[in-house]
Amino acid sequence: MADTKSTKPPFYIPQFTAKDYSSFFLAGQSTEFFTLVQYAIEVLTRTGLGQAHYAAPIDVVKTRIQVDPAMARMSLLSGGRRIIAQEGPAALLTGFGPTAVGYLVQGGAKFAGYEFWKKQFVQIAGDQDTAVKYRTAIYLGASSVAEFFADILLTPLEATRIRLVSQRGYATGLMTGFARLAREEGLSGLYAGFLPILCKQIPYAIGQFTVNEFCHELAFRSMSEETKRSLSGTAKFGISLGSGIIAGFAAAILSQAGGAGTLLTLFVVLKPADTLLSQINKGHGPEGSMPYRLRVLAQQAGFRGLFAGLGPRMIMTAGLVAGQFLLYGAVKDALNAPPGLEIHKENSAMRA
């Protein structure tokens, strides 16, 4: 058995440098432009407003409605009018700094992290055939671990945002708000919302990266090497666009359903998790362990609420994910970054 293994040709794994990972990070950050656009559209769709508002003001009103009992029964429009009347128009920009910084940091860490962990898991596989055989596990593991560490960076910023929005006069901005939260509540306050963020982001990342990989594999599997090399730019764009759209559908469904598999992720899904996250960071909900608190809050939302708005969200997420992958590739090319590691099955070979 050992002799058989030793006769296998070595497989090539690119040795990415720190500069390469910096380029992956910057390219990943650029994709969050689409996230901010989608976020604004999604909030408008959910609330039914007919006029355009920027995402940050809407998010301020939404969070206040979620955590302030006096505004619990208000619509987004009436809630916004109340905030303006009591605190002035500038109050609608509260929390914009943590929102923008959080998206940028998370996007960069997620894309660069996926490149890093995919390479690590391929090395753990040990040989080409094993890596190709277990490529699904590699995709799932790399996307999950990358998102986990990206959410470590995102969670304190999200907690700061919610405090700035929900508590008038809490701080003057991102830095002062973060410092106060860290000083007064420590790690427990900064990471109170870590679990609900994981439950909404990891299934999303799994659908985004894993399905995109398999869509590219299916597109290229029937092509000869000569055909692949001679593909026009339009054809490559079409494959990337189509793969991104399908991956977006998968990401929306998986994150909306919470990934299924455990009782917690059946209840904590992306749309309700946004409300749960606000309530947890504000200190609302029953006492007890975090899974118990999330389960009770989610049950109160009801089953129908967990799957409300899936259709429109699938359409928006498909455009978002497709745009992210296209922009990620374009920025990588502009930065002269190397291509990512591929372990597709089309010719049982590993490519970079």
The domains of the chain are located at 16-334
Question: Does an H or E element contain 283, and which?
Answer: none
Q: Can you tell me the distance from the alpha carbon of 129 to that of 110, in angstroms, rounded to the nearest whole number?
A: 27
Residue 82: the pLDDT is 76
Confidence label for 42 from pLDDT (cuts 50, 70 and 90): very low
Between helix 310-334 and helix 233-257 the angle, nearest 10°, is 140
Asked whether 313 and 256 are in contact (CB, 8 A), the reply is: yes
Phi-psi region at 261: left, alpha or beta (left = phi > 0; alpha = psi -120 to 50): left
Note the pLDDT tens digit of each residue in 196-219.
Answer: 888 888 999 999 999 999 999 998
Q: In this structure, is the dihedral angle defined by the CA atoms of residues 186, 189, 195 and 200, taken in order, positive or negative? A: negative
Residue 348: the pLDDT is 44
Residue 291: the pLDDT is 63
Residue 270: the pLDDT is 36
- Is the model more confident about 349 or about 243? 243
Note the pLDDT tens digit of each residue in 71-110.
Answer: 767 776 777 777 677 766 656 656 667 777 888 899 999 9
Residue with tokens 């609420």: 305
Residue 310: the pLDDT is 64
Confidence label for 260 from pLDDT (cuts 50, 70 and 90): very low
Residue 211: the pLDDT is 94
Q: Can you tell me the distance from the alpha carbon of 273 to that of 279, in angstroms, rounded to the nearest whole number?
A: 9
The CATH number assigned to the domain with range 16-334 reads 1.50.40
Mean pLDDT for 280-298 is 59
Q: Give the tokens for residue 187.
A: 């790690």
